[in-house]
Structure 1
Amino acid sequence: MLLRKLIAGIHPRLAVVVHDMLMVWLAWTAVSMLRWSLAPNPSPVSLFDTEVWLVLAAQGLIFWWTGLYRGLWRFASVPDIWNIFRACVLGAFAAAITLFLYNRLVTVPRTVLVIYPLVLAILLGGPRLLYRYWKDSRLDFVTRTPSQRVLVLGAGKAGEALVRDLKRENRYAPVGFLDDNPQLRGARLHGIPVLGTLDQLPQIARETAAEMLVIAMPAANKVQMRRAVELCESSELPFRTVPRLEDVVAGRSSFNELKKVAIEDLLGREQVQLDWTAIRTRLAGKRVLVSGGGGSIGAELCRQIARLGAESLTVLELSEYNLYSIEQELRRDFPDLLFNAWLGDCGDAATCERVFATAKPQIVFHAAAYKHVPLLQGQIREAFRNNVLGTKVMAEAADRSGVESFVLISTDKAVNPTSVMGACKRVAEIFCQNFAQHSQTRFITVRFGNVLDSAGSVVPRFREQIQAGGPVTVTHPEITRYFMTIPEACQLILQASVLGNGGEIFALDMGEPIKIRDLAEQMIRLAGRQEGHEIAIVYTGLRPGEKLFEELFHAQERYSDTAHAKIFLAQPRSMAWSLLLAQLRHGEQAMRDFDEEALRRVVEQLLPEFASGAGSGGATVVAFDSKAV
C-alpha cells in the first residue's frame, strides 16, 4: 500500500523525464559497448563516468528545448515521433560538442555518434506508440457497451478521419466503406475495406449486419446528399452525417461530430464563392450599424461583420431578449470588438438621431422589419409604420450623418405583392431607390426569399409539429418557395453591398424553388416517422395575401448579371420624388390617426399591382412563373 501511494504521488511528467533519461543512458552505453566490443583491443566501458553524465545533461537540455515533454503519450502520433527523432539528432550534435570541449572526443568512436540517435529514437518512440496502442485497444469488460456496427458512406478524407476517431471509441465498430470511386474498390483505410458503391448500400448493409449508417461527405452538393439520404432511408437503418465544411470552418460544428441529417443538409447548395478580399476591404476598420441585429438575419450579419474586422459594431434592436443574446455572444466571441447595444425602435426619429450621432456609422445594414405575412395582413398600420416609415427614418438619419452605404434587406414578397407585408417592403424599396438620387449615401437594396430555420419560418414550425406527433399543416399541395441558409444569405448580402453604387436592387440567386409538400415529407422521414401512418399532412388552404409561387423580379424590372454569379441586378423603376414624399406624408398622418383604410389607399396608389391583386384584403392569389420573368 505504501509503495502504491508513493508511485501515485509521482508527477506523470517526472516519470516521463526519468524514463527518457534512462533510455539516453541505455542507448549511449549499449552503443558504446557494442562498438568497443568490435575493437581489436576492447576497452572497458564505465556505466557512470563523467562522459555519460555530460551526454545526459546535453541530451536533457535538447529534450527541454524541443518541447518533448509537452506531448502526451496517450495521443502520440507521427508529429511526436518526428519531434523525438529531431531531438535525438540534435542531442547527438550537442553531446558531440560537449565531449569535444571536455576531452576532444578522445574516448568516443565516431560511429557511436552516428548510431546513438537512431537507437535512442527507437527506445523513446517505441514505448510511446505501444502505450497509445494499449490505451486504444484495451477492453474494459466492466463498463464497455457493445459496439454498434457502422457502415460509412464516403471513403475520402472525411471518411478516413471519421473511422480513425470511431476506432478509438468503444461505442462504434466500423465494418466497411461505400464509395462510388471505382479506384477505391478493394482498398483498405485503417484496416477497414471499401466494399462497394453507394447503390449497393441495402445489400451490403445486410451482409455486414450494419446497425447504423454514417454519411461522411461534407462537400457533397444537394443532389448527392439527397441521393445518399434516399439510399439510407431505403435500408431502414438509422443514419447520421458529419457536418458540412462551412459549418466546420465557421466553428458551428466539430469535424467528426456525428449528427442527425437536417433539412438544411438537403436544401443546401454548392459552396458560394465570394470575393472576400473586396468585402473585407470594404468593412475592415469601418464603423457599422445593424438595425434588427438580434433577429435571424441581423444576428448572422453581426457575426460575419465582426469576423471581417470592423472597427465598431452598433446594434439597434427592439427586442430586449434578442439584443441581450447577441450582445453576450459577440462580447464572448469577439472581445476586442467595440460593441454598442441600443434598445429602441428604428421608427423612433429621436432614437435614430441619438444612435447615429453617438455611433457615427459609415455603413448601415437595415434588417429591422416585420415579416410574418398572415399576421401583418390585418395589421397594415404596424406593417406600414415599421417597414415603411421605419426605413424612411433610418435612411434620412443615415443621409444627415453622412453614412457611406445604406443596405436595405428586402424580400421576394415585394415583387408583385399580394400581401400587406410584401407591399410595405416594396414601398420601402421605392423610397430607398429614389432617395439615392437625392443623397450622397449609397442606397442599396438586397432582395431574397425564405431563409431556412429563421425565426417563425416554416422549417421550425414543421419541426415542432412533427415532435408533437402531427399533423403537419401545409397551405396548398402545389405551393413552392425559394430557400437558402442564413449564413449564405448574409454572405451574399455582404457581397452585394460591395457591388452597388447606389439606387440598385440586387436579387440573390435562390436556386430552384422547393415544394413545401416535399419539404414536409422529407422532414417527416428525417425524423424517423412515416408520412400518412404516423404523421399526417393536412392542407389548410392559402392564407390571405399568400402566393402559390414567389418571384424575384417584377416584369418591368429588367435584370442583368453582375460580377458575381449568384447576384442579379434589377433596373429600378423611378417615381416622381415629390409625389412619393406627398404619399408618404399622407401615410404618416393616417398612421398617427390609426386610419387603416386611408393607409391602404396610400399603398394602393403607390403600388397599382397591389391595388389590382390585393386591394380587397389580399385574398386573391396572383401566381407567376419566375423562369418567365
Structure 2
Amino acid sequence: MNKGAVLKIIRFVFLDAIIVFSSFIISFFLRGILAFSASSLVFSQYANYIGIYVAVIIVVKIALFAVFGMYRRVWKYASVKDMVAIVEAVALSTILMGVIFYVLSQPVPWFGDATFRLPYFPRSILIIDFLITLLLVIISRFSERMLNELRFGRPGLRKKRVLIIGAGDAGETIVREMIRQKNSEYTPAGFLDDDPAKLNHRIHGIKVIAPISQLESIVKKQSIDEIIIAMPSVSGKLRKEIALRVKELGIFCKTLPSLYEVIDGKAYLYQVREVSIDDILGREPIHIQTPEVISEIKDRTILITGAGGSIGSEICRQLLRLHPAELILLDHSENNLFTIENELRTKSGTINFIPIVASIQIKDVMKDIFSKYKPSIIFHSAAYKHVPLMQLNPEAAIENNFIGTKILSKLAIDFNVERFVLFSTDKAVKPRSVMGISKLLAERYIQVLTKKSKSRKTRFMIVRFGNVLESNGSVVNIFKEQIRNGGPVRVTHPKMERYLMTIQEAAQLAIQACMIGKGGEIFVLNMGHPISILELAKNMIMLFGMKPGSDIDIIYTGPREGEKLSEELIREGEEELVGSEFKHIFEARQKIELNYEDLENALFWGEKEIQLNDYDNLFKDLRRVVPDFDEKTIWYRSQ
C-alpha cells in the first residue's frame, strides 16, 4: 500500500473517531443527562465515567468499521451498496456497544472486597447515538459525490474529473463542449499549460493550474480520473512523453488527433480518442501539401490496386479529400473490397467508385480494365508481404509481386497512363527473403522500363518505406492480440529493429511523391530512426495499463527464415539519399550506373523460368539481379 493510501485511511479513522465521540456526547445532551448551566457544564452521575464510555465506544466502532471495509472503499464512487454497508457497520457496532456496557454495568471484582461497576445509562442513549453516528458517517462518505452531482450533473451520473493539457484553442473548445453538453461524461478540473502568461487565468471558469512539468502532483491533488491532451500541433516527442507519464500514474489518457487528422484544422470533443501506439512512437505529424496535389488529382480517374489492403484503403481515403472523378478499386479479396467500398460511399456521394474483384496476374482481365476505364494515375499497392509465409510459397510471391507489376506497368505504357507509383519496401534492400527479392525484381523492372521508355508519356515512380503500423498482420496487431490474451508477448530478438510509420503518413507521402516525380525516381519516405521491437512491446504493454515482466511476460523466439535483425532503406555503396522539395521525402539516387541491358536479360530469362516453373534455376540465376543473394536461405517446394 502506498503512502498516499495510508494517509487517506488515517484521515478517515481520525474523522470517524471525532464523529463517534461527538455523537455520544450529543446523545447525552439530548437525553438531558448532560446540560449547560448559566456558568458551567452540569454533569450527572455518569460524568466521572465519560472517559471510559468514550474510549470503549471509539475502539468498538472503529474496529467494526474496519471489519466492514469502510477504510478500503473508494468513496467518490459511493453507491447504495456502500450505504448499506455503513448502516450495517453502525448498527452492529451500536448493538455490540450496548452488550459491552451491560456487561460492565454488572459488579466486577476489583481488589480484595472492592468491586467495579460502570453505571448503565438509559437505552435511549444508544438509539440517539445510532441515528446521529449514522447521519454523520453517511455525510462524511457521500459528501464528495453529492457535491459533484450538485455542481456537474444529474444525480446518479458520476462524471470523470478531467485534466486538460493545453490551454489553447483546442483546449478551450473541448472545455466549452464539456460545459455545454449536460450529459457529457466529463467535468473539467483544470488546465496544464507551459505558457507563463496563461497560468492562474481562467477559461470558461476553469483555471490554468500549472505547467505540464507538475502533471503528477496535480493529478494526485485534484483526484483526476482522466487526462486529455488537447494539443493537435504538439510534437510527437512531447505527446509520447506525456502519454507515458500518464500511464505511469495508472489513469486513462486520451488525446485529440494530430493536426493533419482533425477536420478543417478544428478540434471537437467527439474526436477525443484513446492514446494509441502511434502516439507512443512519438513521430512528428506530416502535413500534405494539399493545394499542389489537388490540381493533379481532381477530376481524374485513378486506379488503386490492393484497394482493400491496409495501404491501398488508406490511399483511397486520402484521395477522397482531393476530389477525383473516379476511383477504380481493384482487389482479389471480395471481403476487403466490400468493406472499403461501403466505407467510401458513406463518405462521398459525388465520386464514382468502381469496385473490381480480380487478380493483377491475369493479363487479359487487366487489359480489359485499362481499355474500359482508361485510368490517368495508378497506385500499385497490391502485393504479398508476409515474409515467413512467402518463404514457404516463393512461387506466389514472385508471380504476384514481380509478374503482376510487369503486367500492369506494360499496360500503363500501352494505354498512356500519366503516372504509375509502385509501392516497395525496405525488405527489397539487400534482401534475404523471397518477399524482399520479389519486390526488388519489381523495382528493377520499373527501372529498366523507365530507361527504355523515356520518350513515352508514362512516368514511373517507386516509393520505398518500412513497416506500417497496424496494417494487416503487423507486429502492432500481433502484440495487441497477445496482450489481450494475457501474454506472453513474443519478440523475435532483443536487438531487432524496424522502421515504422503510420498508415496515414505512408499514404499521404506516397501521393505527394507521385505528384513531384519526373519519372524513374525511387523515393524513400522519411521513416525517422529505427524502433526497437523490444521497446515497442514494452510500451504497448504499458499502453494497456500493465507492467512488462510482472503483468505480461516477454519471451524471445529467435529470427525466422528470411528475417533480418535490422532493415536498410538504401543500398549502401550503390545508392545515396538526396533531399527533395519536401523534407519527408528523399530520393535514392544511383551512385553506380546500372547495366540495364544485363538487368533486362536477367529479368527476361527469370520470367521464362517462372513460366516453366523452373524455380531451381530461377533462384540460382537471381545473383545476376541480386549479387549478394544466397539461394540457400530459400525453402521452396519441388515442382
Q: TM-score range by the shorter chain?
A: 0.7 to 0.9
Displacement after TM superposition at 1:371 (Å): 0.7
Q: Work out the CA distance in 2 between the residues paired with 1:196 and 1:482.
A: 37
Hey, what does 2:485 align to over in structure 1?
468
Aligned pairs for 1:590-629 (under 5 A) are: 590-611=609-630, 615-617=631-633
Residue 210 of structure 1, CA deviation: 2.0
Displacement of 1:231 after TM fit? Answer: 2.2
The DSSP-based 3-state class of the residue aligned with 1:541 is: coil
Rounded to whole Å, the distance in 1 between the matches of 2:219 and 2:321 is 44
Where do 1:233-248 residues align within 5 Å?
233-248=247-262
Q: Does 1:154 align with 2:172?
A: no
Q: SS where residue 571 of structure 1 aligns?
A: strand
Output the CA distance in 1 between the equivalents of 2:290 and 2:260.
15
- String of CA shifts for 1:156-180, please: whole Å, max 9, x gaps: 2222222222233463332222222
Distance 1:185 1:226 in 2: 23
Aligned equivalents of 1:140, 1:505: Cα separation in 2: 60
Question: Which position in structure 2 is the counterpart of 1:25?
Answer: none
The separation in 2 between residues aligned to 1:343 and 1:252, in whole angstroms, is 38
Q: Distance in 2 between matches of 1:228 and 1:290?
A: 38
**Letter of the structure 2 residue corresponding to residue 153 of structure 1:** I
Alpha-carbon distance, 1:265 to partner: 1.7
The offset of 1:539, in angstroms, is 0.9
CA deviations 1:299-356 (Å, max 9, x no partner) are 1112222321222221221111111122222223222212222211111111111111
Q: Which amino acid aligns with 1:568?
A: F
Q: 2:505: which partner in 1?
A: 488
Partner of 1:499: 516
Q: In the comparison of the two structures, how many residue pairs are matched?
A: 480
What is the alpha-carbon distance in structure 2 between the residues aligned to residue 378 and residue 568 of structure 1? 34
Measure, in 1, the Cα distance between the counterparts of 2:549 and 2:266: 34
Q: Report whether the alignment pairs 1:287 with 2:301.
A: yes
Whether the 8 Å CA contact 2:240–2:282 is kept in 1: the answer is no
CA contact (8 A) 2:445 2:603 kept: no
How far apart are residue 604 of structure 1 and its match?
2.7
Q: Describe the SS at the equivalent of 1:245.
A: coil
1:384 aligns with 2:395: no
Partner of 2:276: 262
> SS state of the match for residue 623, structure 2?
helix
Q: Answer whether contact 1:406 1:444 (CA < 8 A) is retained.
A: yes
Amino acid at match of 2:172: E
Q: What are the equivalent positions in structure 2 for 1:389-404 lying under 5 Å apart? A: 389-404=403-418
Q: Quote the Cα distance in structure 2 between the aligned partners of 1:156 and 1:339.
A: 40
**How do 1:558-577 residues align onto structure 2 when only pairs under 5 Å count?**
558-572=576-590, 575-577=594-596
Matches within 5 A, 1:2-13: none
Residue 543 of structure 2 corresponds to: 526
Using the TM superposition, give the Cα deviation of residue 269 of structure 1 relative to its aligned residue in structure 2, in angstroms.
2.9
| Letter of the 1:359 counterpart | Y
Report deviation, 1:250: 7.9
Q: Of 584, 587, 599, which residue of structure 1 is paired with 2:606? A: 587
Residue 177 (structure 2) pairs with residue 165 (structure 1): yes
Aligned to 2:562: 545
Q: Distance in 1 between matches of 2:278 and 2:266?
A: 14
Give the direction of change, closer, same or farther, for the CA distance of 1:577–1:242 in structure 2 (3 Å limit): closer
Q: How far is 1:385 from its partner?
A: 0.4
| Pairwise CA distance, 1:598 | 2.1
Deviation at 1:233, TM superposition (A): 2.5
Amino acid at match of 2:263: V
1:434–1:503 Cα contact (<8 Å) kept? no
Instruction: Tell me which residue corresponds to 1:363.
Output: 377
Q: Pick from 373, 386, 389: which aligns with 1:375?
A: 389
Deviation at 1:255, TM superposition (A): 4.3
Shift of 1:575: 4.4
**Cα distance in structure 2, aligned partners of 1:250 and 1:428:** 38
Give the 3-state SS of the residue equivalent to 1:246 in structure 2: coil
Preserved contact between residue 490 and residue 555 of structure 2 (Cα < 8 Å): yes
Aligned-residue offset at 1:494: 1.1
Structure 2 unmatched runs, 5+: 1-149
Alignment partners' CA distance in 1, 2:348 and 2:186: 37
1:313, 1:520 → 2: CA distance? Answer: 37
Partner SS state of residue 186, structure 1: coil
Contact 2:309 2:336 in 1 (8 A): yes
Separation in 2, partners of 1:251, 1:325: 28
Instruction: Give the partner amino acid of 1:477.
Output: P
Q: What secondary structure does 1:335 align onto?
A: coil
TM-score, L = length of structure 2: 0.71
Relative distance call for 1:313 and 1:268 in structure 2 (3 A) is: farther
Among 451, 472, 495, which residue is 1:455 paired with? 472
The percentage of counterpart residues that share the same residue type is 40
1:606 maps to amino acid: V
CA-CA distance at 1:277 after TM superposition: 2.5
Deviates more, 1:591-600 or 1:260-269: 591-600
- Which residue number in structure 1 is paired with residue 338 of structure 2? 324
Contact residue 451 and residue 457 of structure 1 kept, 8 A:
yes
Secondary structure in 1 aligned to 2:633? coil
- Report the Cα distance in structure 2 between the residues aligned to 1:262 and 1:513, rounded to whole angstroms: 19
TM-score with structure 1 setting the length:
0.72
Shift of 1:392: 0.5
Give the match for residue 347 of structure 2: 333
Amino acid at match of 1:378: L
Q: Aligned-residue CA RMSD in angstroms?
A: 2.3
Q: Distance in 1 between matches of 2:304 and 2:184?
A: 48
User: How many Å apart are 1:249 and its aligned residue?
Assistant: 2.2
Separation of aligned partners in 1, 2:160 and 2:294:
46
Q: Over residues 105-131 of structure 1, what are the superposed CA-to-partner deviations in whole Å (9 max), with x where a residue is unaligned?
A: xxxxxxxxxxxxxxxxxxxxxxxxxxx
Counterpart residue type for residue 192 of structure 2: L
| Contact map agreement 1:240 1:258 (CA 8 A) in 2 | yes
Change (3 A) 1:193 1:502: same
Counterpart residue type for residue 346 of structure 1: I
Contact 2:152-2:187 at 8 Å conserved across structures: no
Kindly provide the amino acid, as one letter, of the partner of residue 419 in structure 1: S
Corresponding position of 2:211:
197
Residue 314 of structure 1 corresponds to 328
Structure with higher Rg: it is 2
Q: Distance in 2 between matches of 1:174 and 1:497?
A: 45
Higher alpha-carbon deviation: 194-203 or 458-467: 194-203
Per-residue CA deviations over 1:399-423 (Å, capped at 9, x if unaligned) read: 1111111111111111111111111
Ranges in structure 1 where 5+ consecutive residues have no aligned partner: 1-135, 620-629
Assess if the C-alpha contact under 8 Å between 1:377 and 1:544 holds in 2: yes
Report the CA distance between 1:580 and its aligned residue: 3.3
| Structure 2 residue 286 is matched with structure 1 residue 272 | yes
User: Helix, strand or coil for the counterpart of 1:277?
Assistant: helix
String of CA shifts for 1:129-176, please: whole Å, max 9, x gaps. Answer: xxxxxxx978543xx322332222222222222222223346333222
Kindly indicate whether the alpha-carbon contact (under 8 Å) linking 2:371 and 2:415 is maintained by their aligned counterparts in 1: yes
Alignment of 1:108-119 (within 5 A): none
Cα distance 1:393–1:532, how it changes in 2: closer, same or farther (>3 A)? same
Answer whether contact 1:424 1:603 (CA < 8 A) is retained.
Answer: no
For 2:147, the equivalent position in structure 1 comes to none
Q: 1:571 to 1:520 in 2, by over 3 A?
A: same
Task: Summarize the alignment of residues 406-421 of structure 1 with structure 2, pairs less than 5 Å apart.
Answer: 406-421=420-435
- Higher mean C-alpha deviation, range 578-587 or range 450-459: 578-587
- Taking the TM superposition and a 5 Å limit, the aligned residue runs for 1:81-160 are 140-141=154-155, 144-160=156-172
Change in Cα spacing, 1:577 to 1:485, as seen in structure 2 (3 Å) is same
